[in-house]
Amino acid sequence: MPFGAVLAQVGGLGRFQVLQTALLAVPILLMASHNLLQNFTAAVPPHRCRVPSVPSATPAVPSATPAVPSATPPPPGATPDATSAPCRDGWDYDRSVYVSTIVTEWDLVCGYRQLRQMAQSIYMAGVLVGALVLGGLSDRFGRKAMLMWSYLQLGVMGTCTAFAPNYASYCVFRFAGGMALSGFGLSIALVEWIPTPYRAITVAITGFAYTLGQIILAGVAYAVPHWRWLQLSVSLPFFVFLFYSWWLAESARWLVLSGRAERAVRVLQRVAAFNNRSEEGEKITVEMLKSNMKEELAALKSSYTVSDLVRTPVIRHIFFCLSIVWFSISFSYYGLAMDLQNFGVSIYLIQVIFGAVDFPAKVVVTVSLSYVGRRLSLVVALFLAGLVIVANIFVPTELQTVRTALAVIGKGCLSASFNCVFLYTTELYPTPIRQTGLGFGSTMARVGGIVAPLVKMMDEYYPFLPPTVYGVAPVVAAVTAAFLPETLNAPLPDTIEEVENRWVVMDSGWLVDNGRTMDGQ
């Protein structure tokens, strides 16, 4: 790549690149904490109606939660269950495990228990809105500026959440925090400083950072059992990230493409100096940069929109298949990851196990992608995930070890599927709409994250429905993925016409190679 030659001139994979990657990976550790935080801050402890005649007595913990609504003022939007008798004096909670949660503080139980899942959906909606807003702003103001804003917003909104006076304000602050979390995707754009041969490893490092963050969350939640202090513990570090992010370098490629080549030269010379390549850095000029990137600058003049994802038959076929796959993976992933209390074992232990399983899962799928291929790897991972989730429905609740093992396998397969579909998407779409296609896939994933808690809300009426839907979705996605073409060892397409010439849509819905080369000959 032309810009790759410039990177090599300023040091390639030098000290600067290693340090910047490390500084970008650290905040991702706490990205997992915010995504999965409600497993702990919104945990539901055993509870019973308070007995006013013996207020000082230690309440017995019932084996089942009585389906009665609160007599205290309901949270905004709540509708009490008029068919059951109210707990007129409130509830007593068993605080042996969960000292304080939003459930115990605002009585989100019985008639109001659905508000717990609603809060998570509101947070995921914030993640979706943030992706739509921050992505456009980053093209205008730069990757670094928006990343710094994300750190600031998450630090402020996370701190405000810790001091939220009521359920409504809690949801508002969580929504705003979710918006900020979407800015973390911009850190991948700053990985443009990494030479092409090392970018896959760099992206893998950020993925493992997220996995490690899931394990760290369990330890922090165990050490800080009060939900407000826990929320504060995972929010305040973002002010530290904001402080050192001033040192990060803006994407030189973005600077050139946005007409700020002079600033790009200064940034490149700074990087060269940090990598002990000052003499080479001094040779970089605006004219040289523009000459090396003339193809990218020319492509910038071409206008491509979201409509190009559905304008031609092959791209349209790929678009619809990938949309289903992205949605289903995220939908089932958060359906499992946000329901840790349902497995009957220590929530802290299962959080560690759920996080740890990602390591072997991602290693196995990385090998599989290189030798078996993208399509088969994705299909098998999705089908196995759906199979074990559905199988868990028929396992008796007393067999906790079996239920936990199946859930862990399912979660590992879904994590592997995320890795598969990310790489697969970048290889299926041509260069002009690659980022657009990847962005829309990510949007579908966030929609899946919004819907997952809402489906969980139906378990009080149809207990088998949520796990059934969580299991069927990956199976449907596996069948859909089978209709995509294999891209193993295939060159990345540069134009929409190349993709249309490479594959044809059969009447059966399969995409097959039509025997023509990528240049259409």
| pLDDT, greater one: 267 or 254 | 267
Under DSSP, is residue 49 helix (H, G, I), strand (E, B) or coil? strand
User: What was the pLDDT predicted at 196?
Assistant: 66
Domains in the chain, CATH or no CATH each = 1-47+94-301 (1.20.1250.20), 304-521 (1.20.1250.20)
Banded model confidence at residue 220, pLDDT cuts 50, 70, 90 = very high
Q: How far is CA 124 from the centre of its chain?
A: 10
Rounded Cα–Cα distance for residues 324 and 274 (Å)? 45
| pLDDT, greater one: 315 or 461 | 315
Mention every residue, 6+ apart, whose C-beta is less than 8 A from residue 318.
428, 429, 437, 484, 499, 511
Mean pLDDT of 504-512: 72
- Tens digits of residue pLDDT in 260-282: 888 888 888 888 888 888 877 78
Banded model confidence at residue 229, pLDDT cuts 50, 70, 90 = very high
Measured between alpha carbons, how far is residue 268 from residues 196, 201, 286, 483 in Å? Answer: 17, 23, 11, 44
| 25-34, 53-62, 460-469, 494-503, range with the lowest pLDDT | 53-62
- Tens digits of residue pLDDT in 88-135: 777 888 888 888 889 888 988 877 888 888 998 999 899 888 877 876
- Joined together, the tokens standing for residue 465 give 């429905």
Rounded Cα–Cα distance for residues 113 and 66 (Å)? 12
Top-confidence range, 69-83, 285-299, 434-448: 434-448
User: What was the pLDDT predicted at 201?
Assistant: 73
Comparing C-alpha atoms, which of 154, 357, 303 is closest to residue 238? Answer: 154
pLDDT at 298 over 70: no
The 10 Å Cβ neighbour count of residue 464 is 10
Average pLDDT, the chain: 81
- 141 near 254, Cβ under 8 Å? no
- Joined together, the tokens standing for residue 281 give 């850095």
- Joined together, the tokens standing for residue 327 give 């949605």
User: What was the pLDDT predicted at 1?
Assistant: 47
| pLDDT, greater one: 248 or 85 | 248
- Joined together, the tokens standing for residue 187 give 């850190």
Banded model confidence at residue 388, pLDDT cuts 50, 70, 90 = very high
pLDDT at 313 over 70: yes
In SS3 terms, 193-253 reads as HCCHHHHHHHHHHHHHHHHHHHHHHHHHHHHCCEHHHHHHHCCCHHHHHHHHHHHCCCCHH
| 242-251, 472-481, 485-494, range with the lowest pLDDT | 485-494
Strand partners, 48: 92
Banded model confidence at residue 82, pLDDT cuts 50, 70, 90 = very low
Mention every residue, 6+ apart, whose C-beta is less than 8 A from residue 399.
none
- Tens digits of residue pLDDT in 30-76: 888 888 898 899 888 887 887 775 555 454 444 444 433 333 444 44
- 455 near 469, Cβ under 8 Å? yes
Q: How far is CA 120 from the centre of its chain?
A: 14
pTM of the model: 0.78
- 56 near 40, Cβ under 8 Å? no
Residue 100 has phi, psi (to 5 degrees) of -155, 130
Comparing C-alpha atoms, which of 354, 390, 326 is closest to residue 39? Answer: 354
Kind and range of the H or E run holding 80: none
Q: Are strands 511-513 and 47-49 parallel, antiparallel or unpaired?
A: unpaired
Banded model confidence at residue 346, pLDDT cuts 50, 70, 90 = confident
